[in-house]
Amino acid sequence: MKKLVVVLLVFALVVTTFYAFASAFIRSDDGGPRSDRPGSRSSSPAAEPDEASAPSPELRDFYGQALDWESCESDVECATLEVPLDYAEPTGETIEIALLKVPARGDSQGALVVNPGGPGAPGTDYAAAANRVFREPLLRAFDIVGFDPRGTGESAPVDCLTDDQLDTYLSSDPSPDDAAEEQEFASLIRGFGRGCAELSGDAVNHVSTIEAARDMDVLRAALGEETLTYLGASYGTKLGATYAELFPDRVGRLVLDGAVDVSLDNRQLGLEQAAGFETALRAYIQNCVDTTDSCFLGESVDAGLATISGLLADVEASPLPTGDDRELQIGNAFYGIVTPLYNRDYWFLLSAALRSALDGSGTALMELADLYASRGPEGYTDNSSEAIFAINCLDDPSSVPFRKVAAELPAYEEASPTFGSIFAWSLTSCRASKARTTEAPIEIRGEGAAPILVVGTTRDPATPMKWAEALAEQLDSGVLLRRDGDGHTAYNSGNECIDTAIESYLLDGDVPKDQTDC
């Protein structure tokens, strides 16, 4: 079996997985996320662009552009935003940022800009699924505006691998076991970095979070908003916090849900995320033990962990059939298991997939792995698996040499006996990245910004609660809101206390007491 590192660069999955599950497994009559909004809506009147807020004369034309919204699907509108490829050279090459707007169901009080995280997830898809992602109070009051951050979706997307190469990348063993496997592993990692440079050209040097945050301010101005109203999830919280540092006087009401600790390096982020996934897996198994007469995984959490580890070992030794020309390999099995851990509502899918795999069929786990990677029957539907590499490695190109991973294994395996070695090997992922940003590093404090709502969940697998606590402390105006629960991100997850607090803040500016527990 070929060996290759997983695409697991800190923020891995995104909130869009939730509506992908809904679309694939709990499908509405029309089966699609873009055209299932009831009734018809007319777009709110276009506001005047805020040209005067441009930070430099060279950017005034960008800030003053009018968005040409056109109907692109039932009840949604699309447009493009022109921005500089390199903000250091604003009169040079430009790119277009894809936008999608879901008009407010009632009288609009302005735009709510949203981002699902990743990095790499298309924000236009997130906005298109607004009726699944957001509750009625926000849908009625705001035009929901999503954008594909530069390098993703339809916004000058980066390209690094062919579909066949990406299949190999995602299916192969994420933690090599001997010298020969490590050599193959390193070769394929270098191929990924080389592919990004060859297929994407100079664009791969301009997909940083800082540049995406600059694009958000151009978007704010083009929408005619004096300040930005924003809801970002997962990596979207890093994007929002970066915006607050760059444009504190333009911060309106920002919700950062499933927050990232922007002060941590890749090693510490990976270590704490490994622990988060182990916690989530244990919670899933504990629920099986507590709610069934005889949990199929075993009679205790430790027994269940042993069953899953045994399954992964078996798949590594002998991939499972899936009913077509693909086999469930160890990389696919890993993604298939971690994907449903992002949302407690989909634990039943994990149980069904694990039962099937234990019976010798890899079909269900492969379907979950494909949802993670945005892979359809005919290939990949977006470039999120490549964009996450390009963006994260541009933001922080640091990496661990292949020969030094062994020294990292004890700490990672202590944090996560099940997944620790995979996370440890992911520390090498940027080893071959050739991209370099023109943006200088910044320390994120957001001094002078209006109150920013930072939200965390106690058993969030991807962004541990301690990250939200840290980001709220780091932001000069951060206010912490805690959700006690399972799954990734807090809003619209069945906690009325959380939902009411977030909606009251966005709609009326009511800032909850710092460190509110829900």
Catalytic residues: 234, 460, 488
Half-sphere exposure (Cβ direction) of 180: Cα atoms closer than 13 Å: 2
Of 467, 513, 510, the closest CA to residue 490 belongs to: 467
Q: 227, 223, 280, 232: which is closest to 252 by C-alpha?
A: 227
* SS3 state at 200: helix
Max CA separation in the chain (angstroms): 69
CB-based contact 444:260 (threshold 8 Å): no
Residue 371, helix vs strand vs coil: helix
Q: Classify burial at 388, counting beta carbons within 10 Å of its beta carbon; exposed 0-12, middle 13-18, buried 19 or more.
A: buried
Distance, in Å, from the CA atom of 505 to the CA atom of 257, rounded to the nearest integer, reads: 13
- With H, G, I as helix, E, B as strand and everything else as coil, classify residue 275: helix
Residues in the chain: 518
Q: Is the dihedral of CA 133, 139, 141, 143 positive or negative?
A: positive
* Residue of 111, 41, 114 whose CA lies nearest to 75: 41
Distance linking the first and last C-alpha atoms of the chain: 47
Classify the C-alpha dihedral 245-247-249-252 as positive or negative. negative
Cα 105 from Cα 256, distance rounded (Å): 24
Instruction: Give 486's contacts (C-beta < 8 A, 6+ positions apart).
Output: 280, 283, 344, 457, 459
Q: Alpha-carbon distance 351 to 356, whole Å?
A: 9
Residue indicated by tokens 């244990």:
282
Token output for 9: 């660069």
Contact assessment for residue 212 and residue 150, using Cβ atoms and an 8 Å cutoff: yes
**In a 10 Å sphere around its CB, with 0-12 CB exposed, 13-18 middle and 19+ buried, how is residue 363 labelled?**
middle
User: How far is Cα of residue 77 from the mean position of the Cα atoms in its chain?
Assistant: 23
- Measured between alpha carbons, how far is 389 from 192 in angstroms, rounded to an integer? 9
Kindly state the tokens that stand for 112: 């709510």
Alpha-carbon gap, residue 366 to 372, rounded angstroms: 10
Beta strands in 412-470 (DSSP E): 452-459
Distance, in Å, from the CA atom of 382 to the CA atom of 251, rounded to the nearest integer, reads: 30
